[in-house]
Structure 1
Amino acid sequence: MRNKLFWVFLLIVVLLPVLPLPVRVPEYWITLLNYIGLYAIVAVGLVLLTGIGGMTSFGQAAFVGLGAYTTGFLSTRYGVSPWLALFVGIAITALAALVLGAITMRLSGHFLPLGTIAWGLSLFFLFGNLEFLGKYDGINSIPALEVFNWRFDTGRQMFYLIWVVVIGSVLSVQNLLDSRPGRAIRALRGGGVMAEAMGVNTAWMRVVIFVYAAILAAISGFLFAHLQRAVNPTPFGLEHGIQFLFMAVVGGAGHVWGAVLGAGIVTLLQDWLQSFLPRIIGQNGNFEMVVFGILMVLLLQYARDGVWPYLQKLFPKRRGVTAPEKAEALVQRAKPSAGEPLLQVNAARKEFGGLVAVNDVSFEVNAGEIIGLIGPNGAGKSTTFNLVTGVLHVTRGEIMFRGERIEKLASREIVKRGIGRTFQHVRLMPTMTVLENVAIGAHLRGHTGVWRSVARLNKAEEERLMFEAARQIERVGLGAHMYDEAGSLALGQQRILEIARALASDPTLLLLDEPAAGLRYKEKQALADLLRKLKGEGLSVLLVEHDMDFVMNLTDRLVVMEFGTRIAHGLPHEVQNDPAVLEAYLGGVE
């Protein structure tokens, strides 16, 4: 049933402009559908930028203006082919977005949307004040588009071109999201710390999707200019930037097809309100904006994920990413020989103002060892973890990994060298499958970029990455949940999933922050067996844990911390009887 409805929908879209009389669609409706398509292209970029990447932008209308003004100026002033002007417009927009994104995407919180408003207004007033762009009168007599002597000089002819671009933009974003860089983009919503710990350059990835969304907006502006055959600054102001964002949110900011639905709902609703409200109220005015605002508030209150999730049930469900049965194995790093010095923390100190969180702590981890880092709450264990993994940088001291100093490196550089980690508070992408979450961990083991992913030229690498992710899932015993959403798992299973994600990075040293928290007795036994197995395969483990039975029966050596200072170091049975440890945990024993 779903497939039939989907194909009926596509057939209607194809036949709308060419239906014979008397069922021929009026020119007015074709015009509305053309504008819905133009707006949808911009909204698709906003779904990628805002709904998926988590960055709010009110300035996309300015990028629409760049695409429109570039083709208008070049085609009328210099007689340049509109298709050449399209590529020039994309290049100019990409360059502008690269510069603006490098500045704006560093902002966070309310500063980010304010920043997009600032440069959006700047570009709008630039369009209206430049003499060669016609100031507020704009540019007229823009030529019609031609393809193989077929002129797109009417709305009905432009309909197909616009909607081909709409479908292409939707498919391109879907292809991107189902790829290695796409998973990195989706991981941005889980917080920069997690994504960086998997090897993602989050700052650059934010700029990339900002540029991609801007390019889609510029293409929409190009089509708008040749549909209207004239441009002026009015359609590229802040008001339209807000409307584009509304369209993405109304349809469903986390759903690519929701952008098309949102563009349709907002455009048709505004048109209907403009036509009928004056008749009801008995006077003209912008009353539609009042009603529209009320409806938006109600929608955001009762359908925060937008309308698309409700309509999606009528359409065929997209086949999710699956793991192949066989694929070429990814290259693995050479494992160090047993007993080789691996991690050395030498007098590491971390100060937060006047607070000393880690006080000149020293310890080492050798290859093939399981080392426990224990201590009461607030002892500085997680801070020490964050120093080793690059989330924090030492105030002084040094951290060596396989003979290289790493205390000043970023998280993504440290994981590249072979240190994987989990988190004290689980950091997963709950709406992504278990398989996709683990594949994020293998980010650095792939190389395909954004443009090859958009064009689906990444099939072979994707198969290898998914095969590796599936292997790690089976390795930790979660094979039965491979295609379940990560958020549907119990807390204990989510912690095991984080271990699988860390293993996908092919680490030499695995850092586990309270991995047994939330696990039942049998699950803890299975986890201990897994860690012993990993140790037998040459993997070293440094873990923070509060379950003393779990730690004492598993670790080779223990490091005990209290108030940021190391108070004991040695074999488990030695530490268990150390007076300083007894004092820290039990208040002393007579």
Structure 2
Amino acid sequence: MDIRKTGLIALIAAVPLIAVLPLPDFWITQLNYIGLYSLTSLGLVLLTGIGGLTSFGQAAFVGIGAYTTAWFTLNLGYSPWVTLFIGLAFTAISALVVGVITLRMSGHYLPLATIAWGLSLYYTMGNLDALGKYDGLLGIKSLSIAGFDIGQGRAFFVLTWAILLMLAFALLHLLDSRAGRAIRAMKGGSQMAEAMGISTFRYKVTIFVLAALFASVAGWLLAHFQRTVNPSAFGLKMGIEYLFMAVLGGVGHVWGAIAGAGLIKLLDDQLQVLLPKLIGTSGSYEVIVFGIAMVLVLKYLPDGLWSLVERKLPRKQRKVDWANAAALPERSKPAAGEVVLDVQAIRKQFGGLTAVNDISFQIQAGQIVGLIGPNGAGKSTTFNLITGVLGMTSGQVVFRGQAVGGKPSREISRLGMARTFQHVKMIADMTVLENVALGAHTRGSKGVLPAMLRTNRAEEQRLFREAQRQLERIGMGAYLHEQAGNLAMGPQRLMEIARALCADPALLLLDEPAAGLRHKEKQALADVLRQLQREGVSILLVEHDMDLVMQVCDHLVVMEFGTLLTQGTPAHVQQDPKVRAAYLGTEH
């Protein structure tokens, strides 16, 4: 049996087993706290480890869940099971408001904004009479099911860990889905994700809210476990500790959340006893130890403790279960001779510098057009203007009869324009198949909830079937299950082309696909481009390798210092004295 599957079965079986074993109540209590902390850290795995967003405000969402159930049960006599959903609603609304305001920020602004959010909620909870100020709310009832009192011991342990494991598996399902691949794509920056048609802002808000909901569930459980709530458990200190738990355990690993929470909880208790004895005076010295440990982990083990376990576990190959899946619908193909792309006098100015000066050219269906010129000619800027990465100062780009100038790159992608990048952009720890399936994001529709509930399997099979088809189309069918980060430069470039083809584009834009390739790899690339042309794909090629350009292009557009030098067939361009002087060099 697969070692990973065996481990998961053992973990699930351990919960009822621990509940019936004659363990001391102290250890059951410890496991209860570890489960509660793990729930909150689980949200940080999604938010920080997978999505790349740093938040110190998780403790505040724990507080919303705890205070909501405390107030409604004490003052209005509501059932705790009703207050769970009320708390989730309050948490979702507050997280949505905070997310919409803060998630447009980048760099250090987002962590600072979540610190401000956490502090403001902490002091709000501590100063409201209705919430008991800093004394909090007392006398909260324990949870019960059909008259059975769950209490604070073994029954509570089973409930907490059942919820924890359920959400952990839901998160694993999410990460292995169309939505999960979109979330993973954001960590390396938004450019690649947006080029795949992904709304990165929408996904950022989604995972921020989802992480907050995980924390709210933990707060609801915590309130009925401790039977009292006060602001001290939801301040900035706890927000930092939750993040530390996730980082120490392995912020990019679902099971790292449990490992980190368990280690911190157990160490915290032991250090509180040992350090005062060693130092000879009382104080929160464990915080100093955790701070030093955090620095050491970030320095020497940035992927956390669970990464050590992950390295020992064999990577399971995905079961190929999509052979009989239905094909994805295809967009209408341009008719022969149709103008697919019409670039009309586009201009881009950066202050007083004109990087692109009134460039115009067309691409017809089935054509390969090369955009060439010396370094600094403005090729990449032109490429980015066409694909929506940059906004134009003036001019217009018309794609299949529709003006796309000023549209964001994700909307242009959805219309049927796909691209690769000058420097390969991929998710190194995903397989080649999963990276290529990311390109078909706009051809699917299942979101976060269907992924977590595992109701998206039919669509996943269709996406993987398409990804395999495109890999086989360009001769990379043998690399399906290879980890993308293990590929050499040539196969990585081809993988990017397969990913772009997964979008079923009417126009494929390739940004220096031959950069860094050896001679045989360039010949293989040329063969792929000719094959795509025979299949009716239109291509815009930005390239420095003139041998490749002359082999495959039907039409060349030559730029120099941001201006159009000339355009025409490769033979015409080769004989143009202006081009020979500026780029190809003159014969002696």
- TM-score, structure 1 normalization: 0.97
Partners in 1 of 2:563 and 2:311 — Cα distance? 57
Say whether 1:229 aligns with 2:227: yes
Say if 1:17 and 1:159, in contact at 8 Å, map to a contact too.
yes
* Cα distance, 1:134 vs structure 2: 1.2
Indicate whether 1:77 and 2:75 are aligned: yes
CA distance in 2, matches of 1:504, 1:54: 25
The letter for the 1-side match of 2:375 is N
The 1-side partners of 2:324 and 2:353 are apart by 53
Within 5 Å, which residues of 2 pair with 1:476-491? 476-491=474-489
Paired residues of 2:51 and 2:204 also in contact (CA < 8 A): yes
Q: CA deviation at 1:314?
A: 6.4
CA shift for structure 1 position 326: 2.3
Amino acid at match of 1:299: V
The alignment yields a C-alpha RMSD, in angstroms, of: 1.5
Q: Which of 184, 207, 217 is residue 219 of structure 1 equivalent to?
A: 217
Q: Counterpart of 1:122?
A: 120
Q: CA deviation at 1:16?
A: 2.0
In structure 1, how many angstroms separate the alpha carbons of the residues matched to 2:420 and 2:345?
Answer: 24
**How big is each residue's C-alpha offset from its partner over 1:44-88, in whole Å with a ceiling of 9 and x where there is no partner?**
100000000000000100000000000110111000111111001
Q: 1:107 to 1:483 in 2, by over 3 A?
A: same
Aligned equivalents of 2:528 and 2:302: distance in 1?
Answer: 41
2:431 aligned to 430, 433, 444, which one?
433
Matched, 1:344 2:346: no
Residue from 246, 250, 270 that aligns with 2:248: 250
Identity of aligned residues (%): 57
- CA-to-aligned-CA distance 1:413-445 (integer Å, 9 cap, x gap): 101111010011111111111001001100000
Task: Read off the aligned partner of 2:292 and give its amino acid letter.
Answer: I
Quote how far apart the aligned CAs of 1:542 are.
Answer: 0.6
Partner of 2:275: 277
Give the corresponding residue for 1:18.
20
Cα displacement string for residues 169-225 of structure 1 (whole angstroms, at most 9, x for unaligned residues): 111111111111110000001220100000000011000000000000000000000
Deviations 1:525-557 (A, max 9, x none): 222222122112211001011111111121111
* Aligned equivalent of 1:259: 257
* Distance across 1 between alignment mates of 2:37 and 2:251: 14
Is the 1:368–1:540 contact (alpha carbons within 8 Å) kept by the matching residues of 2? yes
Is the CA contact (8 Å cut-off) linking 2:186 and 2:200 kept in structure 1? yes
Equivalences for 1:21-420 in 2 at 5 Å? Answer: 24-312=22-310, 320=318, 322=320, 324-420=322-418
Q: Is the CA contact 1:337–1:538 (under 8 Å) kept in the aligned structure 2?
A: no
Which one-letter code corresponds to 2:213 in the other structure?
A: I
Kindly indicate whether the alpha-carbon contact (under 8 Å) linking 1:40 and 1:260 is maintained by their aligned counterparts in 2.
Answer: yes
Q: Give the aligned length.
A: 586
1:516 alignment partner, SS class: coil
Deviation at 1:521, TM superposition (A): 2.1
What amino acid is aligned across from residue 17 of structure 2 in structure 1? Answer: L
Mean Cα deviation higher: 282-291 or 395-404: 282-291
Shift of residue 156, structure 1, vs aligned partner: 1.9
Kindly state the Cα deviation for residue 587 of structure 1 after the two structures are TM-superposed. Answer: 5.9
Shift of 1:32: 1.0
Following the alignment from structure 1 to structure 2, what is the Cα–Cα distance between the partners of residues 314 and 347? 57
**Could you tell me how far apart the structure 2 residues matched to 1:320 and 1:432 are?**
11
1:256 to 1:248, Cα distance in 2 relative to 1, 3 A: same
- 1:292 is displaced (CA, Å) by 2.3
Separation in structure 2 between the aligned mates of residue 217 and residue 4 of structure 1, nearest angstrom: 29
Over 3 Å counting, the alpha-carbon distance change for 1:557 and 1:314 in structure 2 is closer
Residues of 1 paired with 2:56 and 2:433: CA distance? 34
Distance 1:305 1:267 in 2: 20
Shift of the 323–4 alpha-carbon distance from structure 1 to 2, 3 Å rule, reads closer
Counterpart position of 2:573: 575
Counterpart residue identity of residue 182, structure 2: A
Post-superposition offset of 1:157: 1.8
CA shift for structure 1 position 13: 3.6
1:433-487 alpha-carbon deviations (Å, 9 max, x no partner)? 1001001100000000111111001011000001001111111111111111111
Instruction: Label 1:91 to 1:564 Cα distance change in 2 as closer, same or farther (>3 A).
Output: same
3-state secondary structure, aligned to 2:566: strand
CA gap of 1:556–1:317, structure 2 versus 1, over 3 A, is: closer
1:279 CA displacement? 2.0
TM-score (norm 2): 0.97
Aligned partner letter, 2:285:
F
The one-character-per-residue Cα deviations of 1:153-175 (angstroms, maximum 9, x if unpaired) are 23222101110111011111111
CA distance in 2: counterparts of 1:314 and 1:541, whole angstroms = 44
What SS does the aligned partner of 1:190 have? coil
Task: Measure, in 2, the Cα distance between the counterparts of 1:376 and 1:26.
Answer: 75
